[in-house]
Amino acid sequence: MKKIAIKNLAPGMFVHSVTKQRGQFKIKNQGWVRTSDSISQLINAGILEVEIDTDKTLPDDNQDSTSSTTNAHSQAQKQRYDPTQHSVSVSSEIGKAEKLYTEAKSLQEKAIESIRAGKKIAIGPFEEVADGFIDSIFRNQDALACMTRIREKDAYLLEHSINVSVLMTIFAKHLHIERDIMHQMATGALLHDIGKIKIQDEILNKPGKFTDDEFIQMKDHARFSKEILEESGLSGVAVDIAAYHHERLDGRGYPFGLKGDDIPQHVRMIAIVDVYDALTAKRVYKDGMNPINAFKIIKDDTPNCFDTELVNQFIKCIGIHPVGTLVKLKSQKLGIVSQSNFDNPLKPWVKTFYSAKHHHHTEVKDINLADKHNQDELESAIKPEDFAIDLMRFFRNSVLS
């Protein structure tokens, strides 16, 4: 046996155990590391040092023979993770996405009841929903992305964790993170704020600024989330996400004061996603911010609080005008962003269906704002309630087909 730094790990080596790491990621089985991608995934999970069995290192010819197979598999995986690839239409996926979203809300409510009754959370159903999210996002990520744009102002606690889980899964897909880690991330995100149930309602729902004492109490929710998930049998990435989502790179986060290299990639990711969804959420006491302004606030706190590269990748992944956003064009047409443009985020595809100038519905039309023949452009994101528009009705009626 020999302990080596993760940077010295090479394809063909047999990993016996993890001996030093950030966070609590656990490898499920001992075994050979076949590809450089596998090593990158260990690094991204916060692994710093491993113990290898030097007697089991594969000879070069074995490595070569497996390399072509694993490289082909790696290329296939990268194709699956292509964020522009849609295997089904939004209209055919939106029903499944809505059902998943409703199921997740029901699970959140049951989990809250369990905690209040002093019981452990049943983790299995949350893991099944996380699997459902991943499958739906691979079929067409825009369907669940649309669901995160439809908010009830009095359901923030339930919807926030679901939205964060959806956005984390989309983000992980964009970064080519393997499914097992993605599943742990989605599960942890679904439950990352569960500790808030132990915070007094008058503090949790306070619209104004917290007093020093109230903020001290509020900061404990991440610690409570960690304890609840560990008591329920979760560990590793999922618990990291719940425990550390308020930690910041400069060490001024809470409740554990982690900083810099002590914060693994998956925690850096949820720190960004959690703040983004909180800023864009509609609540009883405030309107949600539009995505552009939310991104500006996050960028202002980069790199002190957030990872610069991950912030840039998240913006690229979600889009300045995310799918499902209601927008007004210079022509005064209203439409829904139906497909992001990763090369030019200011020029997505838009489904127009309403005239703000004449206040009536129009024939649904697809407009590619990046088309060289197009003369229209985005003016602003708008709120559906300003025009009494029911977004869910349009999603169900195949507006995004």
Q: What is the pLDDT of residue 26?
A: 63
First-to-last CA distance in the chain?
57
Cα–Cα distance, 10 to 36 (Å, whole number): 7
Whole-number pLDDT of residue 319: 86
pLDDT score for 340:
77
Which backbone phi and psi does 286 adopt, to 5 degrees?
-160, 150
Can you tell me the distance from the alpha carbon of 163 to that of 151, in angstroms, rounded to the nearest whole number? 10
Q: What is the pLDDT of residue 382?
A: 83
Instruction: Determine the 3-state secondary structure of 395 from DSSP.
Output: helix
Q: What is the pLDDT of residue 84?
A: 47
Residues constituting the chain: 401
Provide, for the chain, the percentages of residues in helix, strand and coil under a 3-state DSSP scheme, each rounded to the nearest 5. 50, 15, 35
DSSP per-residue codes, 89-144: -HHHHHHHHHHHHHHHHHHHHHHHHHHHTTPPP-HHHHHHHHHHHHHHHHHHHHHH
8-state DSSP, 84: T
Residues 3-53: tens digit of each pLDDT: 898 888 888 888 888 888 876 666 655 677 777 767 877 887 788 888 888
What integer pLDDT is reported at residue 286 of this predicted model? Answer: 75
Cβ(14)–Cβ(30) under 8 Å? yes
- Write out pLDDT tens, residues 126-177: 999 999 999 999 998 988 998 888 766 567 778 999 999 999 999 999 999 9
Query: How high is the pLDDT of residue 369?
Result: 93
With a CB cutoff of 8 Å and minimum separation 6, the contacts of 327 are: 321, 334, 335, 336, 337, 350, 378, 379, 380, 381, 382
Domain positions in the chain: 2-80, 90-318, 326-396
Low-confidence residues in the chain, pLDDT < 70: 23-30, 37, 58-86, 151-154, 284-285, 392-401
Task: For the domain made up of 90-318, give the CATH fold.
Answer: Hypothetical protein af1432 (1.10.3210)
pLDDT score for 82: 45
